[in-house]
Chains A and B, each alone.
Chain A
Amino acid sequence: MYLCLLAKTFKQQFVYRSDLFFRTLGGILRLYIQVCIWTALLDQGAAEITLTEMVTYIVVALLLTGLIHSTISYTLAERVRQGTIALDLIRPVDLRTYLLCTQLSENLFSLLFSSLPVVLVAVLFWGVIWPTLPNLLFFLLSAGLAVLLMFLIEYAIGLLVFWVKDGVYTDFLIHGLFSIFSGTTIPLWFYPEFLAKIAYRLPFRLITFEPISIYLGRYQWEESLRVIIWQCFWIVIFFLLAVLIWRKIQKSIFIQGG
């Protein structure tokens, strides 16, 4: 069933070919801007990181954010607002699985067709670091867990929309917290101590920062393992949270309009 959904989403996405072109162009521009910023910063000396490492960081971060990109909390909100959520609830498919599947296929699509050209540009113009095999394996595992974790966070917070009734809030909230505490645009190594401390207590760093650190070979394998255990821990937490909220909702659901 999942494969069927995947194929359908791919087909749907292909319809907008010019859209794809612009998205790729956007990705390349973003990469270029980031590289320029870091070139200017690292030129000033004082660095525990080389430019090639940083370029690699940016590229992998771009791929990961492409993979975890999610409009789930927004979609949920739209459906609640329009009342079509009622239909989703009586479908014979679990809402959570359905949302994850469509989102994931959309992301795989954009990974294949609009992120790969960006990677190619990075490799040709600046060069990137390739990981060792064990690091790569650890990275793939933790990237997979990161996708799952981000999805569960989006889903759990997105469910709050049943009370607040407007997805804009939940969406902004997640993305605001994410961009400050995930270390996606600025690696947490460069954070002032008090902010880094907060970031280490929150789950957001596990989504891009930690997998990339593994990829770059910054961790011994015990440390990599610790990252993966933390990821599992947060996955369980958000899974339970989502189940709890879902229970509450089922008791008090109130459908608008219908």
Chain B
Amino acid sequence: MVVALVTAWSAFAQDATQVEVIDREYAIKAAFLYHFSTYVEWPPGTFEAAEAPFVIGVYQTDPFGTALQTVAASKKVAGRSIAIRRIDSRQDVQDCQILFVPNSVPWQEQEAVIHSARDAQVLVVGESDDFVEQGGDVQFFVEGNKVRFAFGAEVTRRGELKVSSKLLSLAKIIPSAE
């Protein structure tokens, strides 16, 4: 019955839903970015000071509007407040713990960012196709009207970030191209 209702609902207001999902996509992605912080463990010494905020960085262009700011204002990560920073240069990627690379960033630039963050203790999240295949850690994708995410198989082996199995069990695991 519920299935039937959902089907009827979809057929009736497909355009509206499409619009809404697009509207809500970055709100969800903002929430997901925050939630990743609870399932990933950064190595000790990541933070220089005890009061240092947990930093979520957005590379160059910010597609979130106020969504990410709203999440950051109301939540904390392991007692730390959350700071949103715009990262404009590849050299600054190590200033944050999670780095989001929007789709609007040119593909070559994205590859360059992935490359420069390889040795940093930063969870690099992107949304372009093949982002994980190119060495990114996490890649959002939309599937069946829902925002899903994929993890590179390498992410747990690489560096010092420990990703919770609970998070991995929800993710699509994509083997690295290399």
Decide if A and B are genuine partners: no
Query: Chain A: residues with CB nearer than 8 A to chain B?
Result: none
